[in-house]
């Protein structure tokens, strides 16, 4: 039921971006409108004051000093022209007598002019006002000659020209807002698509990897790869993580099949020998003497060792093995282990170089001996001549034991897998030596159980020098 109410990420992002940008644009438009209105209104008030002063100056110029009075006809003509602009003018002489009054001269025209302004301001701009009166004294040569009274719709009003200007500004803002809203919606869709598509591809790839096909084509689904060259780091990391997961699963599947092949081979070889010897003795080809029975016994022991190694490795991997820790000198353990390979080293003409120091440690003696037995055996197996060097250094926690050889080396591409069970860098050589292929895996499991690390520090097979270096940190 919850899936009904879910929304695609792309749609959610597009909707979020669109709402946010549209809201921001609306807020910006309102702010611009308010700012424009405030600035425009201040300008209008200033213009009204300037116009009123201009009217006063004009009427002042209509005073005749010879007759000591205003030219009434001229005042009337000028006054009526200002009525059309929203200015109701009346003029009085110095004694307070009315020279001319727009209201008494043409009341209907004044009424229509004021009503037109009021309708415009209240109906279109929602600005209520009322007539405001301002009296301006008039002087000639420093002597008062009367006064001009000007009535206007206040606190301010817009002329028809100014009204058209404001309408055009509002239309412009509306059109610009609509265009920007459409652009923001388009940009939001593009951005959301660029974010959602990689996530969708990653989800589809993950589902495809997790899908179990009826024909068992696991490797095929693990070969899925998605584009990972994105400019956004998080999307790039997500895509590369999916590709890395698919690669690791593909490699794991391949190694699992290789593991099955290796186990079959390890079991087949001694079983084939046993079968051949037993059948030969049954058929009378061989006598069931001590020599042939010992050969069968060796193959049985080989099988037992393989099973025991697998059991040991599984026990460490599942934390079923309890460590019997004691305090001892790691250097003496390494020396004793190395001396056990003295005859094999001598036979191959390999020099052993020990550089040890007193290194007390609390660990499982037998298990650590098994680690170094496996590492020495590995170094001896792949070294035909030269030197095997062993040294102990003070490590970050306790001690680092470094074992290096001058053998065939390990290719760089093989390093991540050499501690996996049954993994071989040279299958033909390792099988010829009779190893089970899990010695390094057991060594890594034991070291890990002690809280340490083991890894190949450097290799030389691909950089001009031979040999491998193993570092055991405990």
Say what percent of the chain tops pLDDT 70. Answer: 85
DSSP state, residue 322? P
353: which strand partners? 389
> What integer pLDDT is reported at residue 327 of this predicted model?
93
Whether residue 334 is predicted with pLDDT greater than 90 in this model: the reply is yes
Last residue of some domain: 135, 163, 179? 179
pLDDT confidence tier of residue 178, bands split at 50, 70 and 90: confident
Kindly report, residue by residue over 213-227, the tens digit of the pLDDT: 544 555 566 777 777
Confidence of residue 332 (pLDDT cuts 50, 70, 90): very high
Q: Is the pLDDT of residue 430 over 80?
A: no
| Integer Cα distance of 14 and 192 in angstroms | 6
For 283-295, how does the pLDDT look when each residue is reduced to its tens digit (9 = 90+)?
877 778 888 788 7
Q: Do residues 76 and 67 touch, judged by C-beta distance below 8 A? A: no
More confident residue, 42 or 207: 42
- Of 138, 160, 179, the one marking the end of a domain is 179
Quote the mean pLDDT of the chain. 79
Judge whether residue 131 has pLDDT over 50.
yes
Beta bridge partners of 470: 403, 456
Examine residue 359 and state whether it is found in any structural domain, yes or no.
Answer: yes
Mean per-residue pLDDT for 435-454? 82
In whole angstroms, what is the distance from residue 401 CA to residue 390 CA?
7
Higher pLDDT, 36 or 214: 36
The tens digit of pLDDT for each residue in 304-329 reads 877 777 777 777 766 667 888 999 99
Average pLDDT over residues 172-195: 77
In a domain, residue 313? The reply is no
Task: Give the CATH number for residue 124.
Answer: 3.30.450.20
- Is 45 contained in some domain? yes
Give the end of a domain, one of 179, 211, 236: 179
pLDDT > 90? residue 48: no
- Which position has the higher pLDDT, 374 or 268? 374
Higher pLDDT, 108 or 1: 108
CA distances from 112 to 84, 91, 115, 117, 161 (A): 9, 21, 5, 9, 18
Q: How far apart are CA 16 and CA 341, in angstroms?
A: 72
Flag whether 215 is in a domain: no
Between the CA atoms of 355, 357, 363 and 367, what dihedral angle is there, to the nearest 10 degrees? 20
Split into its structural domains, the chain has a count of 2
Structural domain containing residue 469: 322-473
Task: List the one residue out of 254, 287, 288, 289 whose CA is nearest residue 422.
Answer: 254
The alpha carbon torsion through 360, 364, 365, 366 (nearest 10 deg) reads: -170
Rounded mean pLDDT, 20-26 = 75
Distance CA 86, CA 113 (A): 6
Tell whether 88 is covered by a domain.
Answer: yes
Say which CATH number the domain at 440 has: 3.30.565.10
- Please answer whether residues 82 and 74 qualify as being in contact, where contact means their C-beta atoms are separated by less than 8 angstroms: no
pLDDT at 6 over 70: no
176 in Cβ contact with 33 (< 8 Å): no
Instruction: Give the mean model confidence (pLDDT) for residues 163-184.
Output: 78
Residue 248 domain-assigned?
no
Residue 144 covered by a domain: yes
Q: What would the mean pLDDT of 449-457 be, rounded to a whole number?
A: 86
| Range list of H helices, 84-159 | 102-105, 107-119
pTM score, whole prediction: 0.47
The band of 2, judged by pLDDT with boundaries at 50, 70 and 90, is: very low
Pairing of strands 88-93, 143-154: antiparallel
Whose structure tokens read 């030269």? 386
For 172-202, give the DSSP string.
HHHHHHHHHHHHHHHHHHHHHHHHHHHHHHH
Whether residue 192 is contained in a domain is answered as no
pLDDT band at 5 (very low <50, low <70, confident <90, very high): very low
| Cβ atoms 89, 150 nearer than 8 A | yes
Candidate ranges 130-144, 174-188, 227-241, 328-342; pick with highest mean pLDDT: 328-342
């Amino acid at each position: 039921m919850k899936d009904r109410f879910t929304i695609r990420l792309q749609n959610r992002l597009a909707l979020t971006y669109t709402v946010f940008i549209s809201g921001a644009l609306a807020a910006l438009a309102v702010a611009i409108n308010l700012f424009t209105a405030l600035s425009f209104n201040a300008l209008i008030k200033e213009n009204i004051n300037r116009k009123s002063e201009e009217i006063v100056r004009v009427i002042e110029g209509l005073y005749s000093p010879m007759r000591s009075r205003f030219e009434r006809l001229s005042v009337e003509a000028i006054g009526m022209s200002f009525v059309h602009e929203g200015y109701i003018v009346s003029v009085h002489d110095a004694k307070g007598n009315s020279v001319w009054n727009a209201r008494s001269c043409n009341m209907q025209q004044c009424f229509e002019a004021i009503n037109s302004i009021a309708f415009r301001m209240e109906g279109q701009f929602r600005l209520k006002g009322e007539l405001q009166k301002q009296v301006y004294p008039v002087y000639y040569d420093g002597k008062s000659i009367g006064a001009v009274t000007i009535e206007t719709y206040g606190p301010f009003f817009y002329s028809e020209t100014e009204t058209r200007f404001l309408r055009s500004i509002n239309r412009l803002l509306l059109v610009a807002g609509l265009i920007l809203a459409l652009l923001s919606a388009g940009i939001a869709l593009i951005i959301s698509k660029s974010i959602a598509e990689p996530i969708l591809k990653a989800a589809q790839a993950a589902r495809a990897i997790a899908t179990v096909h009826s024909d068992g084509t696991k490797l095929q689904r693990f070969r899925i790869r998605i584009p990972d060259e994105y400019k956004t780091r998080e999307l790039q990391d997500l895509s590369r993580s999916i590709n890395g997961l698919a690669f690791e699963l593909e490699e794991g599947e391949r190694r699992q099949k290789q593991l099955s092949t290796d186990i079959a081979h390890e079991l087949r070889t001694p079983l084939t020998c046993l079968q051949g010897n037993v059948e030969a003795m049954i058929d009378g080809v061989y006598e069931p003497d001590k020599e042939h029975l010992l050969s069968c016994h060796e193959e049985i022991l080989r099988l037992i060792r393989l099973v025991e190694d697998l059991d040991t490795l599984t026990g460490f991997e599942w934390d079923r093995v309890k460590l019997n820790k004691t305090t001892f000198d790691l250097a003496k353990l390494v020396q004793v282990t190395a001396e056990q390979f003295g005859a094999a080293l001598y036979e191959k003409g390999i020099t052993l170089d020990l550089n040890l120091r007193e290194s007390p440690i609390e660990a499982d003696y037998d298990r650590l001996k098994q680690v170094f037995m496996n590492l020495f055996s590995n170094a001896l197996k792949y070294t035909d001549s030269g030197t095997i060097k062993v040294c102990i250094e003070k490590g970050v926690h306790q001690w680092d034991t470094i074992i290096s050889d001058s053998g065939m080396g390990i290719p760089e591409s093989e390093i991540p897998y050499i501690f996996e069970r049954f993994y071989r860098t040279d299958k033909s050589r390792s099988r010829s030596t009779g190893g089970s292929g899990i010695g390094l895996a057991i060594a890594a499991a034991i070291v890990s159980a002690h809280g340490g690390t083991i890894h190949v520090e450097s290799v030389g097979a691909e950089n001009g020098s031979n040999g491998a270096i193993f570092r055991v940190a405990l």
